[in-house]
């Protein structure tokens, strides 16, 4: 009788492993790597918070997993994913060559738009190219990638600092004419520093943006399953308005654009 129960148990276990292969990591922690990037993700009083944290906590909860955010320098995060030392990374742009080590879901995490910010007394810039910054002092963030032509242009002065907060304070004090920043980060910084009456977001952006993804390592089991489940739950969060409500909480506005399924 005992032998029959054991055989039956093996058959049932085999059934679930065949039809639900992704459940091999059910009830386990899913570590997702990110660089420090408020309000997407940041540390406050020892707790990791942000738009990304609230969104992914709910998303993975619905998938049956516990989301564990981990903040580290970007280059190190990418290296860890390649080595299979974490399940996922966020927010990473889609590049075909990265599919060698990543499973990308069809739905991205967020659209990352580089916006232009100006002092309230300054006119709008009808931006077409960076030549429109002629004669201006332009604030950028150390480590952000700009074209060589931009960085070496003799038409304007580039001032580079470590944080967006520094740039926006310089802009408000009249020490800069332009700040280029991620629109989410920029709008959040203005709100946090109460600079709404001193700086504004230009109507025309520096670029139209790039979609950032939560992508999963191919070096670990269940990566493909996680990407597929991610798409199902993200679609629900978008339909229910949960995604937009998080942006309203942090920015007092909806996202520039809702995630769209990659073809």
For 95-148, give the DSSP string: -GGGGGTEEPPSS-SEEE-EEEEEETTSPPP--SSGGGGTT-EEEEETT----H
Compute the average pLDDT of residues 170-175: 96
What CA–CA distance (Å, rounded) separates 142 from 163? 8
In a domain, 158, yes or no: yes
Q: What is the mean pLDDT of residues 10-35?
A: 58
Same domain, 177 and 102: no
pLDDT-based confidence at 142, cuts 50/70/90? confident
Per-residue pLDDT, averaged over 161-166, amounts to 92
259, pLDDT greater than 90: yes
Report the pLDDT value the prediction gives residue 145, as an integer from 0 to 100.
77
pLDDT-above-70 percentage for the chain: 90
Residues 35 and 165 occupy one common structural domain: no
| Same-domain pairing of 102 and 118 | no
Same domain, 121 and 102: no
32 with 157, same domain? Answer: no
- How far apart (Å, rounded) are the C-alpha atoms in residues 99 and 201? 35
d(CA 250, CA 54): 11
Last-in-domain residue among 161, 178, 201: 201
> Considering the entire predicted model, what is its pTM?
0.81
Q: Does residue 4 carry a pLDDT above 60?
A: no
- Tell me the pLDDT tens digit for each residue of 184-242: 999 999 999 999 999 999 999 999 999 999 999 999 889 999 999 999 999 999 999 99
- Is residue 10 assigned to a domain? no
Domain presence at residue 228: yes
Supply the mean pLDDT for the chain.
89
Residue 98 belongs to some domain of the structure: yes
Helices 51-63 & 223-240 angle (0-180, nearest 10): 110
For strand 29-34 and strand 66-71, is the pairing parallel, antiparallel, or unpaired? parallel
Burial 104-122 (b: 16+ CB within 10 A, else e): bbbbbbbbbbbbbbbbeeb
Beta bridge partners of 217: 102
Average pLDDT over residues 20-39: 74
Which pLDDT score is estimated for 62?
Answer: 96
**In a shared domain, residues 76 and 196:** no
Predicted local distance difference test score (pLDDT) of residue 95: 93
257 vs 70: CA distance, rounded Å = 26
Domain holding 159, by residue range, is 114-201
Q: Which residues lie below 8 Å from residue 58, measured CB to CB, with a gap of 6+?
A: 237, 242
Confidence of residue 35 (pLDDT cuts 50, 70, 90): very high
Are 170 and 156 within one domain? yes
CA 206 vs. chain centroid, Å, equals 18
Write the pLDDT tens digit of every residue in 57-92: 999 999 999 999 999 999 999 999 999 999 999 999
Averaged pLDDT for residues 11-26: 42
Question: pLDDT band at 28, cuts 50/70/90?
Answer: confident
Domains of the chain: total: 2
Does residue 196 sit in the same domain as residue 176?
A: yes
Give residue 228's pLDDT: 96
Answer for the pair 82, 218: CB distance below 8 angstroms, yes or no. Answer: no
**Under a CB-based contact definition with an 8 Å cutoff, are residues 161 and 142 in contact?**
yes
Q: How far is CA 249 from CA 36, 95, 106, 123, 184, in A?
A: 19, 31, 26, 30, 12
Instruction: Specify the higher pLDDT residue, 220 or 132.
Output: 132
- Whole-number pLDDT of residue 87: 95
- What's the token pair of residue 153? 């242009």
């Amino acid at each position: 009788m005992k032998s029959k129960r054991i055989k039956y148990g093996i058959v049932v276990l085999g059934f679930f492993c065949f039809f639900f292969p992704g459940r091999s990591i059910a009830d386990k922690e899913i570590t997702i790597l990110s660089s420090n990037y408020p309000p997407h993700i940041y540390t406050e009083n020892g707790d990791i918070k942000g738009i990304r944290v609230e969104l992914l906590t709910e998303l993975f909860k619905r998938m049956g997993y516990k989301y564990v955010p981990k903040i580290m320098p970007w280059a190190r995060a990418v290296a860890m994913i390649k080595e299979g030392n974490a399940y996922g990374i966020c927010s990473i742009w889609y590049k075909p060559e990265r599919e060698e080590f990543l499973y990308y879901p069809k739905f991205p995490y967020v659209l990352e738009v580089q916006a232009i910010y100006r002092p309230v007394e300054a006119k709008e810039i009808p931006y077409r190219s960076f030549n429109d910054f002629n004669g201006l002092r332009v604030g950028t963030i150390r480590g952000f990638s700009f074209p060589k032509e931009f960085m070496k242009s003799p038409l304007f002065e580039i001032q580079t600092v470590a944080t967006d907060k520094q740039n926006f304070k310089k802009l408000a004090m009249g020490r800069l004419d332009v700040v280029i920043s991620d629109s989410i980060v920029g709008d959040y910084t203005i709100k946090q520093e109460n600079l709404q009456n001193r700086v504004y977001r230009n109507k025309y952006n520096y670029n139209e943006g790039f979609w950032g993804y939560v992508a999963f390592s191919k070096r670990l089991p269940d990566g493909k399953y996680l990407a597929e489940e991610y798409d199902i739950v993200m679609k629900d969060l978008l339909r229910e308005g949960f995604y937009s409500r998080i942006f309203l909480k942090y920015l007092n506005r909806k996202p520039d654009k809702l995630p769209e399924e990659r073809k």
